[in-house]
Homo-oligomer: A and B are copies of this chain.
Amino acid sequence: MSFDNNIPTTFPDLAPRGPSGDLLLAAERAKTSFDVQKLSEFMYTKEWLERMDKVLQVIESEPAFDKTNRYFESREAKIASGLRKDKRVVELIKEHNWDETDSQIAYFLFDQSTPFTLHYNMFIPTLRSQTTDEQKKLFLEPALKHHIIGCYAQTELGHGSNVQGIETTATYIPETNEFEIHSPTLTAAKWWIGGLGTAATHAIVMARLITDGKDYGPHPFCVHIRSLEDHRPLPGITVGDIGPKFGFNSVDNGFIMFDHYRVPHISFLAKYSKVKPGTGEYIKPPNAKLSYGTMVFVRANIVMGSRYAMAKAATIAVRYSAVRQQFVDAANPRKWDKKVIETPVIDYTMQQYRLLPTVAAAYACFFTGREMIRLYNLNQEAMQQGNFDLLADLHASSSGLKSLTTTMAIDAIEDCRRACGGHGYSMFSGLGMFYQDYLPNVTWEGDNYILTQQTARYLLKTLRNVVAGKAVPSEYNPTITYLTQFLQNPKAKCPATAPSDFLNPELILSAFGFRAAYGIAQVAEQIDRQGRSWNSMLVEISRISKAHCQFVLVRNFIVTLQNDPSLAAPEMRPIVKVLRSMATLFALHTMEKELAEFVLSGYISSEQTKMLKDQVISLLEQIRPDAVALVDAFALPDYYLHSALGRYDGKVYEAMTKMAEREPLNHTQVVAGYEECIKPLISQGKAAGRWKEDGSLQIAKL
């Protein structure tokens, strides 16, 4: 090629066909019925929003936090830029005197995990909760100073959910007061361990403790794995990265195998159980239930995370739907400057039906996440005083809620992506990689299917207690309340006689409670009386967990709107009004999705389902003018969204073309493979004399 090939492709300086996105979004915002800023402050507090702004200003100008290349990076580039950010955060903490909340906000806004993520999220918390004071000095202090970098190695190649089945052993050697960590088979390889692939110098290793001639099952060890001198794997260790994943490729999920690898006695994390030096005698932990509290906290945060996920997806899809125009709606033509324009897709009922329930679900998960954290704190206090009463209900609900809300969120991301039409498939939508990166939430901290069994077990036990008169209704346990009500009147009917009756919160709660109780009673009947096995009932079992958790989501939403003192002020009235619509839409849309169960329970009649559907359509119409404002209130900055479609200013097409200009393939005029692969084929046509000197087709000749 004799010409200069290194000329990047740029778009001509043209505007999109009007009305442009910024004007369309401004028109949407002019219709808002409530104070967006006030709603944001209600959810986040003013202080937190100001803090977010401050952190945002810092990182937006930091090269290590630049997102420009996010959608173009190869796997290796992702790891390299992740490590650079990890290092830069440590410096920023010093430079700006950031506290933990500030750096959490920075990570939240950057919205991509890194090789150090598990150091912060699992290594340090485990060291905090499972170590003796001596171990804190040895492991936790250097970890906090980044003198060692850690990960948490539990899952094995052959063992995921079933922790009891792991194969790695840690055998106590009395002679040297050491443990010998060993991987006896290929399936014993630790696998999926975030941070282990490239970064970690240390790992919390879950291994079967063998001492005193006995196998005591999985216990945690803090194991030194890579040299602090040159980062090479220490002798006896095989360690590396497990390779590309569907998402999460900015994290170096790794594997590790141990070949009779010796660690000192102090590596055994000994806050709860202990192994006596010399004799190897095993001393049991005092109360295994204590650790359940932490799981509740982790799951409450996952529920809150599901809310951010839905809020992000909905923000992008709703804003873009107000900008994207398709077809002239002949029955109801949209006009602009007195001329008919193509209708913004958000005006189509189908699009509202696809998107607005997700907006409502994001709000629902916010209220339940908040309630879970409140209950977690209540329970921690109670447990300190030896009271474990709250724990069972809280732990059981948290399993099912984690399962339900993460499934809701992942479905919402994908639904929103598809609702963006073709451009949703572009990485520039911000929804594709987001879906891929969010996905592990449905598997980690308990597979979503398996978790529902924990909730269901509790529900069945509670039902048996209520039947036996061993549990009475209390305001702290709504489960007992709805089960009791159901047992008192198992033939109850929904009193609705008109669509608007479905706006009544009491009616909604009764319906959700009745349907959950009916399902639980059916399962109990089949297991307890008809002798059906647990395994053969797993489908129904996951359904009752879901039914219960949908009740909890609806209840927390409704109850908070009724009771939260900060919503009582007169200036909050428009906000309460729109949130009530959100709560009702969430509840009724959920009922519609699960209609079969409501109908089969005998509570809802065929006639009432028509009213219900009509009421959902009415709600969509009613909420429609506030659609953009409701996602604006999530207060998610453009930097966080990193989406051409979801920009606050609506300049969708300008952003799509700007981002396309950055595509590496567009940095040259002619693709690299041309000479090798395309030219030889085309040249044969040239030999056939098909074209002119200037390269155009020889039309005249044919």
Contacts and interface: CB of A to CB of B under 8 A. Distances in A.
A656 interface: yes
Given A248-B425, A264-B699, 5 more contacts: A229-B694, A241-B665, A332-B535, A418-B443, A600-B606
A17 B228 CA distance: 33
Contacts of A606: 599-600, 602
A104 interface: no
A245 B149 contact: no
B422 A201 contact: no
Given A79-B671, A80-B672, A240-B9, A145 B684 contact: yes
Contacts of A654: 186
Contact of A87 (B146, B192, B676): B676
A678 B252 CA distance: 14
Contacts of A187: 16-17, 653
Interface string A667-702: 001111110111111101110101100111101001
Contacts of A535: 329, 331-332, 348-350
B425 A443 contact: yes
Given A149-B682, A243-B427, A442-B418, A186 B230 contact: no
A441 to B, nearest CB: 11
Interface string A177-195: 0000001111111011000
A350 B678 contact: no
Contacts of A699: 138, 264, 266
A211 to B, nearest CB: 20
Contacts of A417: 246
A662 B138 contact: no
A370 interface: no
A458 interface: no
B87 A158 contact: no
A468 interface: no
A426 B245 CA distance: 4
B538 A421 contact: no
B326 A676 contact: no
Interface stretch (A70-78, A122-130, A298-306): A70-78
B440 A425 contact: yes
Interface in A316-363: 325-327, 329, 331-332, 342, 348-350, 353
Contacts of A289: none
Interface in A139-195: 142, 145-149, 155, 157-162, 165, 167, 183-189, 191-192
A234 interface: yes
B232 A670 contact: yes
Interface string A647-668: 0000001101101111111100
B427 A245 contact: yes
B9 A239 contact: yes
A685 B246 CA distance: 36
Interface residues of A, number: 166
28 contacts: A2-B230, A12-B259, A16-B187, A71-B243, A74-B74, A142-B690, A145-B684, A147-B682, A160-B423, A162-B327, A162-B342, A192-B422, A198-B673, A224-B696, A228-B691, A229-B694, A234-B695, A234-B696, A240-B663, A241-B660, A241-B666, A242-B426, A243-B426, A246-B435, A349-B536, A350-B535, A418-B442, A418-B443
Contacts of A257: 11-12, 14
A342 B685 contact: no
A194 to B, nearest CB: 12
A662 B75 CA distance: 13
Contacts of A348: 535, 538
A159 B699 CA distance: 32
A495 interface: no
Nearest to A453: B350
A535 B346 CA distance: 12
A54 to B, nearest CB: 25
A432 interface: yes
A147 B353 CA distance: 49
A187 B433 CA distance: 25
A512 interface: no
A433 B331 CA distance: 42
Q: Which of A145, A596, A699 has the most CB of B within 10 A?
A: A596
B538 A11 contact: no
B83 A677 contact: yes
A231 B12 contact: no
A86 interface: yes
Nearest to A595: B596
Contact of A76 (B15, B428, B664): B664
Given A186-B15, A327-B165, A238 B684 contact: no
A687 to B, nearest CB: 9
Nearest to A536: B349
A228 B224 CA distance: 61
Contacts of A674: 198, 231
A516 to B, nearest CB: 17
A657 B189 contact: yes
Contacts of A697: 138, 148, 224, 228
Contacts of A228: 682, 685-686, 690-691, 695-697
Contact of A421 (B433, B447, B602, B678): B447
Contacts of A161: 326-327, 421
Given A87-B677, A596-B599, A672-B80, A427 B162 contact: no
A3 interface: yes
A129 to B, nearest CB: 20
Nearest to A74: B74
Contact of A146 (B331, B602, B681): B681
Contacts of A165: 326-327, 342
A422 B17 contact: no
Contact of A233 (B71, B259, B427, B669): B669
A33 interface: no
Nearest to A537: B349
Contact of A663 (B234, B243, B662): B243
Contacts of A155: 422
Contact of A157 (B188, B656, B670): B656
Contacts of A12: 183, 186, 238, 257, 259
